Amino acid sequence: MNRRQVLRLGGAALVATASAGCSSAGGSEDVTRVSMAENFAFDPKRVTISAGTTVRWINDSEVGHTVTAYDGQIPSDAAYFASGGFESEKAARNDVSGGLLVAGETYEHTFDVAGTYEYVCIPHESSGMTGTVVVK
Ligand SMILES: [Cu+2]
């Protein structure tokens, strides 16, 4: 192994360490990124992932958005999820500002149960700002 190969391996190790530090559960889990963009949309609007994958939403716009699962539109044995840590859609709707992600902020949820999850950005629901996560 020459010096250049050693340096390259060192860089890869640093990158791996950095990305593990950003994930909630650590380890080797996969992360799928969904952007909340200027056009009041989740991008991509629909993602298909394997069980155990973390979805990381990031607000790439200047206005606040929420990630709020629809009660009854996630698998019945799956944990409810919403930015702000609410335990139900009703609780999230009762405190919209508490669930807002400001510019540059992220929210993560790891999906362990297979099925289809529908979610919404509460303030922009009338603009059609909804999304879907399909877990295989
Ligand atoms: Cu929004």
- In this predicted model, what pLDDT tens digit does every residue of 19-63 receive, in sequence order? 444 444 445 569 999 999 888 999 999 999 999 999 999 999 999
Residue 118 alpha carbon to ligand 1 centre in Å? 15
Residue 40 alpha carbon to ligand 1 centre in Å? 5
Residue 93 alpha carbon to ligand 1 centre in Å? 13
54 and 27 in contact (C-beta within 8 Å)? no
- In this predicted model, what pLDDT tens digit does every residue of 62-86 receive, in sequence order? 999 999 999 999 999 999 999 999 9
CATH number of the domain at 29-135, please? 2.60.40.420
Q: What is the pTM of this model?
A: 0.79
